[in-house]
Amino acid sequence: MSVTTNTVEPWQVAGRATQGQEVRGAVSHVGGTRLVFETGDPHLTLRLSEVLDPFRLLINGKEIPAGRAVVTSAVHNGSTWVCEVALPENWFEGKLTSLPAGPGQKPAFDEFLRQWQRLYALRPEYKIVLSDLHSLLTHLRLWLEEVELGLKSLDAAERAQRRQAIIEGLDAPVVQSVNVLHERFEEITARLNPEEHAAHQSLCRRLLHPLFLCSPFGHRTYVKPLGYAGDYEMVNMIMRSPYEGPSLYAQAVNVWLLRQYPSQAHRHRIAFLTEKLIQETARVSLQKRPARIFNLGCGPAHEIQKFLRESALSDWAEFTLLDFNQETLHHAREVLEKARQEHQRQCRIQLVKKSVMSLLKEAGKNTGPEAGGGYDLVYCAGLFDYLPDRTCQQLMNLFYQWLAPGGLLVATNVFPCQPFRHMLEYLLDWRLIYRDPRQMLALKPAAAPPEAARVVSDLTGTNLMLEVRKPLT
């Protein structure tokens, strides 16, 4: 059974965000696996694809657990936040309805039939492409299982060598074959009306989850063990060898996911940011002083790792890196210190645990590592993909204040020019806020002159980078 009420009286919701804050609000709409609620919390800052866990409804004084909820939209209308979340399939079973009251009553077959008809009424071309994807991957799995059986007679060393050769040889043909059907999937899904998405997504997950979530990358992106998409280990997976997984088939799926445009674009973005680190440090080093660099949402800081490994200019840099997740900071500290020692770099690296919410609340105070401004490079890469315009604009204004004269501000965002958006959302529950060049330019700091800002893209066209140079005077 699904809930199709357009308006709900005084239902309340409560959930815990990844940063520990309790999120409470009033339900304004619930339908199937989608729920919309409003909250007046002035300090709330939710990211797209963030997990609220546990999430529960409060109905007539009764608490109803709904598992975990994934944020699919968060809009500030001036006084309140309007948030939409995705709930697990059949979260309401046995909670909002009951069995027939007496032995003489029949279960609600009409309701069952109505729900089945929702599936039957899916667009035929969509069901065909999903069926083709399911068939291709199922037969690929069976074939690779036979291949692995044939390797069992070899000793461990030779078996590992042969497995590696096989998966490397399958890399390009598997990606090309699945891409043909995937592009058709994206084309069909893009034509769906908003009210059709829930039912179509449900079929996608039923058919493809068993075939995709064996991939280490696919599993982590869907499960989100740290409570949000794009965590440091997901980024590490994008940056290292794609040949990971417990079987040849799992590795083949992992390869396909990591050869798609979002993963390619992330690798290009790391190269872009590394080049900016080199350029800006070289510029400031001419003044015979170290470049002060600030980064919000540092993650594993691959661009800084690369900078430390490849350029002696990194001796002329001082880094202040912020992230809200302690596990991420612990990992970043380890890998950066290792790179610094291995290459005998003299740079200073300060890591600070702080969230976007805390940063904005403290914006009017001269406290914290950002006090006094004067940064030569401030960048925020990937975080804007999950934050609404209002929050991005507040951050951009703040970053610009902190820039030294001549300093550079860089913010990145994804642009949906390549086909992967619907597979991200349907299969992996990974939602992003997409912006085009005009929307990126609209985030320019209010105090910056128009000529100081420009938008550039990476080689794939998937990543847009907003650059703002603060005038010298």
- Parse the chain into domains and list their residue ranges: 12-98+107-118, 122-259, 262-469
pLDDT of the residue at 116: 58
Least confident interval from 70-79, 271-280, 419-428: 70-79
The mean pLDDT value for 203-217 works out to 93
> What's the topology of domain 262-469?
Rossmann fold (3.40.50)
Q: Which of 87-91, 92-96, 415-419, 427-431 has the highest mean pLDDT?
A: 427-431
Exposed / middle / buried, residue 138 (Cβ in 10 Å: 0-12, 13-18, 19+): middle
Say yes or no to pLDDT of 9 above 60: no
DSSP code of 456? E
Nearest CA among 28, 42, 6 for reference residue 73: 28
| Cis bond upstream, residue 54 (ω within 30) | yes
Residue type, 261: Y
pTM value is 0.83
Can you tell me the mean pLDDT for 120-140?
Answer: 93
Residue 102 has pLDDT above 60, yes or no: no
Beta carbons within 8 Å of 251's beta carbon, 6+ residues apart: 167, 215, 242, 243, 244, 245
Is pLDDT of 227 > 70?
Answer: yes
pLDDT higher at 110 or 285: 285
State the pLDDT confidence band at 168, using cuts at 50, 70 and 90. Answer: very high
pLDDT band with cut points at 50, 70 and 90 for residue 119: low
- Mean pLDDT over the full length of the chain: 88
Residue 14: per-residue pLDDT: 86
CB 385 within 8 A of CB 413: yes
Identify the band that residue 33 occupies on the pLDDT scale cut at 50, 70 and 90: confident
Torsion angles phi and psi, residue 376, rounded to 5: -90, -25
What span, in angstroms and rounded, lies between the C-alpha atoms of 36 and 74?
Answer: 10
At 387 the pLDDT is 94
Dump pLDDT digits (tens) for 432-460. Answer: 999 999 999 999 999 999 999 999 998 88
Residue 361 clears pLDDT 50, i.e. is over it: yes
Q: 220-229, 312-321, 374-383: lowest mean pLDDT where? A: 220-229
Which run of H or of E encompasses 301?
none
What string of DSSP letters covers 212-278? HTTSHHHHHHHH-TTSSSS-HHHHHHHHS-S--SSSHHHHHHHHHHHTSHHHHHHHHHHHHHHHHHH
| Residue 389 pLDDT > 80 | yes
Residue 205 has pLDDT above 50, yes or no: yes
Tokens of 14: 């409560």
Please name which of 287, 383, 351, 360 lies closest in space to residue 49, comparing C-alpha atoms: 383
pLDDT band at 155 (very low <50, low <70, confident <90, very high): very high
What per-residue confidence (pLDDT) applies to 3?
45
pLDDT of the residue at 40:
72
N residues, the chain: 473
DSSP 150: H
**For the chain, percent of residues with pLDDT exceeding 70:** 88
Residue 203 CA to chain centroid, in angstroms?
A: 22
Say which range, 3-17, 23-37, 224-238, has the weakest mean pLDDT: 3-17
- Which pLDDT does position 98 carry in this prediction? 46
**Distance of alpha carbon 144 from alpha carbon 327, whole angstroms:** 36
Residue 439 CB coordination number (10 Å): 17
pLDDT at 103 exceeding the cut of 70: no
Mean pLDDT of 335-359: 95
Range name among 65-69, 86-90, 105-109, 246-250 with the lowest pLDDT average: 105-109
Residue 94 — very low, low, confident or very high, per pLDDT cuts 50/70/90?
A: low
In this predicted structure, what is the pLDDT of residue 368?
43
Please give the pLDDT value at position 426. 93
Cβ(297)–Cβ(382) below 8 Å = yes
Return d(Cα 35, Cα 362) in angstroms, integer.
Answer: 32
For the cut 70, the answer to whether the pLDDT of residue 404 exceeds it is yes
Per the CB < 8 A criterion, the answer to whether 66 and 57 are in contact is: yes
Distance between CA atoms of residues 379 and 433, nearest Å: 18
CATH, domain range 12-98+107-118: 2.40.10.220
Q: What is the pLDDT of residue 20?
A: 76
pLDDT-derived band at 398 (thresholds 50, 70, 90) equals very high
